Amino acid sequence: MMKAKHQRLLWISVVGALLILSATLILSAFDDNLVFFYSPTDLQSKTIHPDQRIRVGGLVLESSLQHNGTQISFTISDQVNMLPVHYEGMLPDLFREGQGVVVEGHLQDGQFMAQSVLAKHDENYMPPEVAKSLKEHGVWRHAE
Amino acid sequence: MLSEVGYFSLAMALGFAVFQFISPLWGGLRQDNRWHKLAIISARLQFFFVSAAFITLITAYVTCDFSLLNVFMNCHTHMPLLYRFAGAWGNHEGSMLLWVWILSLMGFAMTFLKSNPSLVRGAISIQGLMCVIFIAFLWWGADPFLTLPFTPHEGQSLNPLLQDRGLAIHPPMLYLGYVGFSAVFSFAIAGLWLKKLDKDWAVAVRPWALFSWACLTLGIALGSWWAYYELGWGGWWFWDPVENASLMPWLAGTALIHTLRVMEMKGQLRGWSVLLALLTFAFSLLGTFLVRSGLISSVHAFATDPHRGIIILAIIAFLVGGGFLLYALRLPRNSNSTPLQFMSREGAITINSLLLFAGLLTVTWGTLYPLMLEAISSKTVSVGAPYFNATVVPMLFPVLLLIPLGMELTWGQSSFKRALEKALHTFTPTMAIGVIILYFIDPQPVVSIIAASLALWLVVSSLYYGIRQGFMAQLPMILGHIGLGVTILGIAISTAWQQESNVTLTLGETTELQGYTFRLDDITQGNGPNYLYEKAQIAVLKNDQQVTLLMPEKRLYLPQESMQTETAIYTNGLINLYGVLGSHLGHKAWAIRLHYHPMVSWIWWGAALMALAAFLALRRRMRTI
């Protein structure tokens, strides 16, 4: 049987090792997986590396939606600047022209290659990020 | 009329809750047993009146009483009866009433306990205090009985996503889990206050923890299942803040039900168990706050009024802060319990609870960081699934290795060598078979191959343990661990080998996915009770034999004019085929998305097994009380 002192030492080292393990995991995984949100206007003044995963939000421009088989393109705008978006797949149910949307993906030569399109859950719902950025550009109107 | 009944019931409940809180304290001071009787009567009457308020709201929904603002906003006469019924808790105010009802139910259940009278009185009192706070919050912050100055003829109907069978059962289950832990919290506070934190305390608390944990497990599984078939994205877990909010108390609660077992058996891990008891309910409250405050974008964010969020935050700060203060001041120090043996079952349980805690920390950090950053810097970020996968998955491996080893170790002093030998009996063959089979199917996803093999080992070693030691003796433990193995097997295999295909099909055209042929046979249109639909008929063939007919729909819900896809899912227990109908692309062509998900349903079956195990453990406990 181990002495009480040794047992305690063992426990302290286990807790220490676990703390170091989780801190390492958090630190190594965290920076690479933070996804920043921008509005189309923010993107005018920022250079985003094509490898960097970002989110962009705004309103889907009226009559900008085009289908070509499963290839989809549309334009999102914050009423000041615009950004063309390309996406392959099926749009979410609540995707509508004139409504708020958030896309996640990569920026390549001024075009946005979306991996996912988020327009979720409620027809009156404006993603908070979009509402905030529209307010900043002074074009927010409260949803009726 | 119903509004007045509701207000009356809530007012009465609030009054009795005050008595429920005060009279045990007063009775304790005066050494007078009559006050304790009053507390019990108050708790029961309080439950009666909260139930009356809840039934009133449900009645208003079922009868479509649009004089109530809440009913007007979320109900419609064309909605089927089930959704009118369940719609009562498909909104912020109604769900808070359900929350309070369960809080009250826990206090009601406590009044039937016979053993540990002083501890139970303390717990009933704390439960009463929480009822006072939350009924007051309901009254002033989330009033479900507000009336309109006139009665509209028709309501605005419920969000179509919430019009679903799963909705009727998912929130009550989840809340039974969340709020069930309020009883554990009350017992922890009472134990700290009375300085009664011994084996008896653990015996008294564990049934409440088991019950809540089982309900939480089912609630999370139902939520994930709902997301799988209703959202139509083919996924079952998105590391969405709302999902994380339910995972956090689950992780803390899982650690808790295990450390309580150690405390029951050995009287050890007292400080850690009490801390976990406080933390589990703290995270339940945090979950409620995150979900209900509207801080995060989700289907659950009914309320977008920040004031409510601040009130809930203040309540959490009061309850949790008070709990931790009491913990710091009143936790009895330096009792004569023997130091914790490292190489023993309690040692393995402790290490696993620490791993669960580490997982809890990383999930909490990833979930709260965007909120904190936005509060201090106005930058908007999101923490994606890759972060959670990169942090949680590595912690899963030691957990999976430790569980079978821990089962082979005995309580107290134990021979590690013997346990290792027993564990290796099953480890070597299972891992060899698992890795070889999966490697030959597809050698690419190494992490999934190892995870699936380890999960398989967990199942096999649990069975092996049962065969040698007898299944009946430790059935809950064996069953619970098999359930975890089944769930992780489902997760590992479905994540690694799922397939997805986005296609455009014209009538009669076919497409292939994973050896199955899908043929678009027909598209029909029609009327549902409160929606129009477009329905596809997709024949699924394998080797020219028809396997099934998938009939995914797109629905246009009329009052809101909002679109909603209904997925079609075929399952044979081993694989799921999943079809979603997209938009009409002209010339009789439709966008269609098809998924192949191997073993995905095992995830939920495993969760059901885990919950069943906890209920079985609870039942054994009830018999001994």
Question: Residue B300: what pLDDT?
Answer: 47
The number of beta carbons lying within 10 Å of the beta carbon of residue A56 is 27
How far does CA B93 lie from the centroid of its chain?
A: 20
Distance from CA of A109 to the nearest CA of B (A): 23
Q: What architecture does CATH give domain A35-136?
A: Beta Barrel (2.40)
Q: Count Cβ atoms within 10 A of the Cβ of residue B386 and give its class: 0-12 exposed, 13-18 middle, 19 or more buried.
A: middle
Question: Residue B624: what pLDDT?
Answer: 62
Closest-approach residue (CA) in chain B for A16: B354
Mean per-residue pLDDT, B452-475: 93
Radius of gyration in angstroms for the set of CA atoms belonging to chain B, rounded to a whole number: 26
Task: Look at B585 and A69 and tell me if their CB atoms are within 8 Å.
Answer: yes
Cβ–Cβ contact B381 with A under 8 A: yes
B475 vs B239: CA distance, rounded Å: 32
Task: Look at B384 and A69 and tell me if their CB atoms are within 8 Å.
Answer: no
Distance from CA of B272 to the nearest CA of A (A): 13
Mean per-residue pLDDT, B304-326: 83
Task: Look at B387 and A25 and tell me if their CB atoms are within 8 Å.
Answer: no
Tokens of B524: 């029909």
B179 vs B317: CA distance, rounded Å: 17
Cβ–Cβ contact B565 with A under 8 A: yes
Q: Which among A25, A88, A89 is the nearest to B394, CB-wise?
A: A25
Low-confidence ranges of chain A (pLDDT < 70): 1-2, 120-144
Distance from CA of B199 to the nearest CA of A (A): 22
Task: Look at A35 and B384 and tell me if their CB atoms are within 8 Å.
Answer: yes
Closest-approach residue (CA) in chain A for B393: A25
Question: Residue B303: what pLDDT?
Answer: 43
Mean per-residue pLDDT, B595-624: 93
Closest-approach residue (CA) in chain A for B303: A125
Q: Which among B340, B355, B379 is the nearest to A11, CB-wise?
A: B340
Q: Which among A26, A120, A129 is the nearest to B362, CB-wise?
A: A26
Q: Which residues of chain A does B387 touch, with a Cβ-Cβ cutoff of 8 Å?
A: 29-30, 33-34
Task: Look at A22 and B351 and tell me if their CB atoms are within 8 Å.
Answer: no
Question: Residue B604: what pLDDT?
Answer: 96
The phi-psi region of residue B561 (left if phi > 0; otherwise alpha if psi is between -120 and 50; otherwise beta) is: left
Whether B185 shows a pLDDT value over 60: the answer reads yes
Question: Residue B267: what pLDDT?
Answer: 86
Interface probe with A: pick from B343, B351, B381, B415, most Cβ of A within 10 Å = B381
Q: Which residue has the higher pLDDT, B183 or B341?
A: B183
Among B115-129, B269-283, B328-342, the range scoring the smallest mean pLDDT is B328-342
Query: pLDDT per residue over B345-364, tens digit each?
Result: 999 999 999 999 999 999 99
Task: Look at B354 and A36 and tell me if their CB atoms are within 8 Å.
Answer: no
Q: Which residues of chain A does B358 touch, with a Cβ-Cβ cutoff of 8 Å?
A: 18-19, 21-22
Q: What is the ipTM of this complex?
A: 0.82
Whether B302 shows a pLDDT value over 50: the answer reads no
Nearest to B450 by CA among B464, B463, B425, B432: B432
Cβ–Cβ contact B337 with A under 8 A: no
Question: Residue A123: what pLDDT?
Answer: 44
Q: Which residue has the higher pLDDT, B385 or B308?
A: B385
Question: Residue A2: what pLDDT?
Answer: 62
Task: Look at A19 and B358 and tell me if their CB atoms are within 8 Å.
Answer: yes
Query: pLDDT per residue over B192-209, tens digit each?
Result: 999 989 899 999 999 999
Whether B337 shows a pLDDT value over 80: the answer reads no
Q: Which of A118-122, A139-143, B162-166, B450-454 is predicted most confidently?
A: B450-454
Q: Which residues of chain A does B339 touch, with a Cβ-Cβ cutoff of 8 Å?
A: 4, 7-8
B462 vs B343: CA distance, rounded Å: 19
Distance from CA of B3 to the nearest CA of A (A): 27
Q: Which residues of chain B does A35 touch, with a Cβ-Cβ cutoff of 8 Å?
A: 381-384
Whether B15 shows a pLDDT value over 70: the answer reads yes
Task: Look at A127 and B565 and tell me if their CB atoms are within 8 Å.
Answer: no
User: Which residues, other chains included, contact B126 with Cβ-Cβ below 8 Å and sequence gap of 6+?
Assistant: B21, B185, B186, B189, B190
Task: Look at A37 and B565 and tell me if their CB atoms are within 8 Å.
Answer: no
Tokens of A2: 């181990």
Task: Look at A7 and B340 and tell me if their CB atoms are within 8 Å.
Answer: yes
Q: Which among B361, B382, B387 is the nearest to A29, CB-wise?
A: B387
Q: Where are the domains of chain B?
A: 1-163, 390-497, 499-599
Nearest to B183 by CA among B221, B245, B128: B128
Annotate B86-124 with b (16+ C-beta within 10 A) or e (fewer). Answer: bbbbbbbbbbbbbbbbbbbbbbbbbbebeebeebbbbbb
Q: Which among B354, B384, B504 is the nearest to A33, CB-wise?
A: B384
Interface probe with B: pick from A24, A67, A95, most Cβ of B within 10 Å = A67
Q: Which among A2, A26, A120 is the nearest to B342, CB-wise?
A: A2
The phi-psi region of residue B548 (left if phi > 0; otherwise alpha if psi is between -120 and 50; otherwise beta) is: beta
The continuous run of DSSP H or E covering B213 comes out as helix B199-230
Determine the angle formed by the axes of helices B270-292 and B306-330, rounding to 10 degrees: 170
B255 vs B177: CA distance, rounded Å: 15
Cβ–Cβ contact B354 with A under 8 A: yes
Question: Residue A135: what pLDDT?
Answer: 64
Q: Where are the domains of chain A?
A: 1-33, 35-136
Whether B539 shows a pLDDT value over 70: the answer reads yes
Task: Look at A26 and B383 and tell me if their CB atoms are within 8 Å.
Answer: no
Question: Residue A122: what pLDDT?
Answer: 46
Query: pLDDT per residue over B198-251, tens digit each?
Result: 899 999 999 999 999 999 999 999 999 988 988 888 889 988 888 899 999 999
Q: Which residue has the higher pLDDT, B321 or A119?
A: B321
The continuous run of DSSP H or E covering B584 comes out as strand B575-586
Distance from CA of B414 to the nearest CA of A (A): 9
Tokens of B418: 């013997």
DSSP code at position B570: E
Whether B548 shows a pLDDT value over 90: the answer reads yes
Angle at B592 between CA B591 and CA B594, to 5 degrees: 155
Whether B599 shows a pLDDT value over 90: the answer reads yes
Q: Is the dihedral of CA B542, B543, B547, B552 positive or negative?
A: positive
B495 vs B189: CA distance, rounded Å: 42
Helix H, strand E, coil C: the string for chain A is CCCHHHHHHHHHHHHHHHHHHHHHHHHHHHHHHEEEEECHHHHHHCCCCCCCCEEEEEEECCCCCEEECCEEEEEEECCCCEEEEEEECCCCCCCCCCCEEEEEEEEECCEEEEEEEECCCCCCCCCHHHHHHHHHCCCCCCCC
Task: Look at B593 and A90 and tell me if their CB atoms are within 8 Å.
Answer: yes
Whether B623 shows a pLDDT value over 80: the answer reads no
Among A117-126, B159-168, B192-201, B439-448, the range scoring the smallest mean pLDDT is A117-126
Interface probe with B: pick from A2, A9, A70, most Cβ of B within 10 Å = A70
Nearest to B377 by CA among A54, A36, A31: A36
Q: First-to-last CA distance in chain A?
A: 73
B413 vs B407: CA distance, rounded Å: 14
Nearest to A143 by CA among A123, A119, A120, A121: A123
